Amino acid sequence: MSKETVISAKHLKKAFGKGDSIQVIYSDLNIDIYKGDFTVIMGSSGAGKSTLMYSLSGMDKPDGGEIFFDGTDITKLNNDKLAVFRRKECGFVFQQIYLIDKMNLMDNVITAGVLTSKDKEDIKYRAKELFSLVNIPETTWKKTSSQISGGEAQRAGIVRAVINSPNVLFADEPTGALNSANSAAVLDVFSSLHKKEQSIVMVTHDKKSALRGNRIIYIKDGKIYGECDLGAYEQDDAGRTEKLDKFIKEMGW
């Protein structure tokens, strides 16, 4: 059965700088993201992984090309329409987490939730469910980001990202600032969301994180250099680990 395409990017161009110092990130990149997939984008530092992810999510505008998100070319949207598009279609998890300072976890989530729902009680109800899903106890909901661990903060960040039931959840190195125990807990959340058929696009250069995905895309020299289908995630699946190791070795990792 062929997969449903949720994002289709064609002939993407992106460069930074001007004149002699111009740095071309990609000049003619094509990529499709499928519904229900946990897509992992890998590549060396500076390859343009995050830039690609942020272009696909409407956070950044490519210099050229088209990006069809559920049939809409988001490159044609102005900033305000892009904001409305993001609130409905996308969720974001960042490496540095970026919960709003001095605002408690529940309010952080509500701040995102009120953008799509007028019923605050409904938002709270969903937030509570999601907090349970990511193992954040009720005693922590009223704490601010400086009063909890990095892992808890990142899991709260995930709750904020999915409170509006986004079409695609984007994650940029979500475990990059966490220790291994916290990383595992966060990745477990991603896996459980994926099991619930949440489409996820994650940028990482961490093998353990990449193993959670079912589709690995390797970026090199501004192109999709290679792609690997790992299949559904199973804990302690040595076959998947070997497959990923082999793939990234082939990519020159």
Partner 1 sequence: MKKISTLTLHNLKKAKGQFISFGVFICLTAFIINIALVLAFQTFNAYDSLFDQLGAADINFIIPEIQDYDDLLTEVEEMDGVSFVEKHGGVFTTATVREFAGSDFDMNTVFYSLDEERTLNLLDVTNYSGEGGNSVYIPLYMRELGGFTEGGSITYSIDGEEHTYNIGGIVSEMQYGNYGTGMIGGYLPGTLYEDFAEEYSNNVIVEYSLKISDTADLSEMKNTITEKLREKGIALMSINDKDTSKQTRTMVCTLLIVIFLALAAIILVVSIFLSNFRIRSAIEGELAQMGVLKAVGYTSGLIIASTIMPYILVGVIATVIGIVLSYSVLPSVAGVLAIQSGFSYTPEFDIMALLIVILTLTCAILLFSYLSAGKIHKLEPINAIRGITGDESAGQNILLFIVSFGIMVLLSFAGTLLYNVNIKPDNFMNTLSEEIPSVIFTAEDDKLTELEELLQTDSRVKLVLEYASVPVSYEDGSLTAFVCEDFSKVTNDICYEGRSPENENEIAVGNAISDSYPIGSIMTLTVGDKSADYRVTGYIQSVNNAGSVCQLTREGYEKIGESINSVNVYLYDKIAGEFINEYEENHDTLIKSSVNYEQLNENGQMMYTGIVSVIVVILFVISVLMVLLVMYVIINSMISRRKQEFGIYKAIGYTNGQLTIKTALNFIPVVAVASVISAVAGLWYLPAMNNTIFSMIGAIKNHFEVAVWILIVFAVVFTAVAFVISVLLSAPIKKITAYSLLKD
Nearer to partner 1 (CB atom), residue 53 or residue 251: 53
101 versus 236: smaller Cβ distance to partner 1? 101
Residue numbers 106-145 binding partner 1 by CB under 8 A: 107, 110-112, 114-116, 118, 120
For partner 1, give the closer residue by CB, 86 or 240: 86
User: Judged by CB under 8 A, which stretch of 97-105, 130-138, 184-192, 202-210 contacts partner 1?
Assistant: 97-105
| 18 forms part of the interface with partner 1 (CB under 8 A) | no
Minimum CB separation of residue 100 from partner 1 in Å reads 5
Q: In whole angstroms, how close is the CB of 182 to partner 1 at the nearest point?
A: 14
Q: How far is the CB of 132 from partner 1 (least distance, A)?
A: 21
Annotate 172-192 with b (16+ C-beta within 10 A) or e (fewer): bbbbbbbeeebbebbbebbbe
- Cβ–Cβ under 8 Å, residues 33 and 39: yes
Interaction between residue 98 and partner 1 (CB under 8 A) = yes
State the minimum distance, in angstroms, from the CB of residue 93 to partner 1: 10
- Binding partner 1 by CB under 8 A: which of 88, 128, 220, 243? 88
Identity of the residue, 9 or 90, whose beta carbon is nearer to partner 1 in the bound complex: 90
Distance of CA 83 to the CA centre of its chain: 17
63 binds partner 1 (CB under 8 A): no
Q: Which of residues 142-201 bind partner 1 (CB under 8 A)?
A: 146, 160-161, 164
Burial of residue 208 (CB within 10 Å: 0-12, 13-18, 19+) is middle
Q: Which stretch binds partner 1 (CB under 8 A): 56-64, 69-77, 203-211, 213-221?
A: 56-64
Q: How many residues bind partner 1 (CB under 8 A)?
A: 35
- Tell me if 36 sits within 8 A of 199, measured CB to CB: yes
Which stretch, 91-99, 199-207, 219-227, 245-253, contacts partner 1 (CB under 8 A)? 91-99
Residue 92 as a binder of partner 1 (CB under 8 A): the answer is yes
Contacts to partner 1 by CB under 8 A: 54, 59-61, 79-80, 83-88, 90-92, 94, 96, 98, 100-103, 107, 110-112, 114-116, 118, 120, 146, 160-161, 164
